[in-house]
Structure 1
């Protein structure tokens, strides 16, 4: 089945006329009909007749770009022209944008056929993709479990072969957590590589970024080449992402294994074992792996993170909170973030950013390791009916997102971070490992991932409960 190929392979088949865009679309729609009802990953799907007509038109026109004819669904946090874009919130349940966000415009211009959206938690808050508009996205390896989030719908669509390539976004692990829990790749690029929309303030907030998700590293590179180009209207931009070389190696790279940071993070021991087994295999592939304790106290990172995150959320969503009609539609986690953010003083924000600056400088100046490694999640996928896990390994979680604290070291300072799958626990649930580099070393991190993929190809271990 063509849908078992990665996006690069599918696009090659389209170019070689081994399959038509119309046939590809027909197979994609049939796969969605067969699989999506059990997992609820793709939402706001466009009418089949319109999609088939668009695919037939792609067969008779010159290629628009590198994604010509490829079906894609956009994460439901991005404005998408003509497609219901709800952000998972009843506030925007009827929102149909008349223009694309910058990222979506680039994907469309590259020739992709946008079939609908992928599900996400309300406003992307929390690493569990459920909302009052579309309901819960479920894990294809066990439908009673969470798919993660906030790019949960995207990860599930990849794992179940409904799509070969998806976009995601990552503030607090929203690319890495669902990728780990669905046995695929998710890459949070260096902040600035993938530009956001040039509207409102573009200087202050550097916590969230868009990025690619896929079943192969070459597909991550492919989408990065489309969305990772400079926009001169934005102040923190980087040079355009260049294609990865055909060959890659792990030789000469030192990976620093942080693990549970000396016991600070509560992490399922089985996850630590799977990650350590993967690191041993990476050692056999040519890396040097050493224990590494980052040169900062993790408590400082958490304090700075929660301060800057609440401030960023409050500055964006305060109007919804201040309007009684929309405030009643917000979930408690959003209200908590906004109220906390509005209560912060300028000095609170400054002090948090000083910690952020200290951490960035400390990691950039250390010479012990090239890459930092941490688990991508502290637990395996939890019960899909929960809002969030209240305890992890016997420790109480004092916020709705504390159980994902392990992703903060990369998010706080905009470092590139790749989730690589590392296998399955005793209950058949997948997990992953974060490979984190210095800002701007995106290609190096992806080359490590490419070597790992060639040696393991974990995403080919498909969910067992779906047709091949």
Structure 2
């Protein structure tokens, strides 16, 4: 019964909690027991506050019993990414430089979850400073994929995805610059949404106008992600790009038919990326699934020229701002890939940035035009399958050399550059049981649309219900 509770959808658990069929303390203890028993082999939860979580769960039960109003996430255990500041709880960013850092307050994405009634359990593992899509760092080591010990859980929200897949929490959150919500979701057979920039406001943020990195929800079902998005989204006056749309619309019932939907399928993003043939083979039947749901599907892809330069330049600029001074002060305590990326940013000129903004503008305009013809774009989430944890990043895909730690993530990074919302949903399994993710990309600000398509696909295929044999 305990393990059964740990794998029920968050939407179902929320209903059971509100009707007092289960208590927040009962639900929490089930998850803490599972974490204690299984996380030593997964290494997803790197900081655990069982005592604080039990106190919060007891308070949640008392509030409901007293008839006080409770939030939409009432009593649901949640784990926060270890790059998201949690007041009174250690936040390390996966770096020895912050091994003992305890922030004074929650950042906005954490505060909104707690205000909605979620029970803060602990922190999930990340790569050092969230750089890269493979979760390992010198403080805590590597996070293992629940579906195959010894393989990567992806990153940078790898601990979050692994914790969800392993049944340690029903909800988690992460961030995504170049795929950090989508890549680990694909590797771990869960759901991760990169929202439209500004949909989930990030505060505090040193460069608040930047749209490359976003924060967003992760769950085991699309409806769970939609529930969490309804809490995390919404305007904040301190965040200049935050969107004013009412987030309540995200929890409206999601349809299971897609009649009349116009779908573009781009198995290699128009020849722009190299994809492991095993992934393409798993995802090929997705076309038939969408057609069976009433959609029309054509193989088509927007013109993504310039996307690599946009992402590479803007990322390097951000890394220079964030890490160049730090790397100069502590060269032996900042990993080489971060120093490399920051150095690229330091070499940029004003002319480089102006060219990039022009490319960014035309790329966005082409995406808007493309989505006048199609409602969504489908593509592989990742170009590779989960790989051994000892490898920092794949250096070859299907015989094609990858130049650096970003090259193998381009199926996500080029989409980040467009500013479009993108959802990764379970897309199937290889013959030897490794998860594959399907990426559903929508028009700018069409976050609800990608959730609708993801939900319909999920209900038709049920790939997300296949659990790891931990």
**TM-score for the superposition, normalised by structure 2:** 0.95
Contact 1:3 1:10 in 2 (8 A): no
Shift of 1:132: 0.6
**Structure 2 CA distance for partners of 1:91 and 1:9, relative to 1, 3 Å:** same
Contact 2:289 2:460 in 1 (8 A): no
- For structure 2, the 5+ residue unaligned runs are none
Shift of 1:319: 2.6
Residue of structure 1 aligned with 2:264, choices 256, 267, 284:
256
C-alpha distance in structure 1 between counterparts of 2:204 and 2:147, whole Å: 39
C-alpha distance in structure 2 between counterparts of 1:163 and 1:131, whole Å: 22
Matched residue of 1:116: which SS?
A: strand
Q: Where does residue 180 of structure 2 map in the other structure?
A: 174
Shift of 1:422: 1.1
C-alpha distance in structure 1 between counterparts of 2:356 and 2:367, whole Å: 17
Matched residue of 1:328: which SS?
A: helix
Contact 1:207 1:413 in 2 (8 A): no
Shift of 1:53: 2.6
Q: Where does residue 398 of structure 2 map in the other structure?
A: 393
Q: Where does residue 276 of structure 1 map in the other structure?
A: 284
Shift of 1:262: 4.4
**Structure 2 CA distance for partners of 1:198 and 1:116, relative to 1, 3 Å:** closer
Q: Where does residue 297 of structure 2 map in the other structure?
A: 289
Shift of 1:295: 2.2
Shift of 1:322: 3.1
C-alpha distance in structure 1 between counterparts of 2:430 and 2:407, whole Å: 22
Contact 1:39 1:139 in 2 (8 A): yes
**Structure 2 CA distance for partners of 1:340 and 1:247, relative to 1, 3 Å:** closer
**Structure 2 CA distance for partners of 1:401 and 1:331, relative to 1, 3 Å:** same
Residue of structure 2 aligned with 1:344, choices 348, 373, 393:
348
Shift of 1:227: 0.7
Residue of structure 1 aligned with 2:28, choices 11, 25, 30:
25
Larger mean Cα displacement after TM superposition, 190-199 or 49-58: 49-58
Q: Deviations over 1:35-89 (max 9, x none)?
A: 101110011111x333223212221113441112111110011000111100111
Contact 1:308 1:353 in 2 (8 A): no
**Structure 2 CA distance for partners of 1:264 and 1:221, relative to 1, 3 Å:** closer
Q: Where does residue 240 of structure 2 map in the other structure?
A: 235
Number of paired residues? Answer: 459
Shift of 1:247: 4.4
Contact 1:375 1:406 in 2 (8 A): yes
Q: Where does residue 2 of structure 1 map in the other structure?
A: 5
Q: Deviations over 1:423-453 (max 9, x none)?
A: 1012210011111011111111111111112
- For structure 1, the 5+ residue unaligned runs are none
C-alpha distance in structure 2 between counterparts of 1:136 and 1:375, whole Å: 25
Contact 2:91 2:103 in 1 (8 A): yes
Shift of 1:124: 0.8
Contact 1:193 1:229 in 2 (8 A): yes
Contact 1:193 1:240 in 2 (8 A): no
Contact 2:195 2:216 in 1 (8 A): yes
Shift of 1:261: 3.4
Q: Where does residue 54 of structure 1 map in the other structure?
A: 56
Q: Deviations over 1:150-183 (max 9, x none)?
A: 1111111111111111101111011111101111
Residue of structure 2 aligned with 1:416, choices 395, 398, 421:
421
C-alpha distance in structure 2 between counterparts of 1:369 and 1:29, whole Å: 45
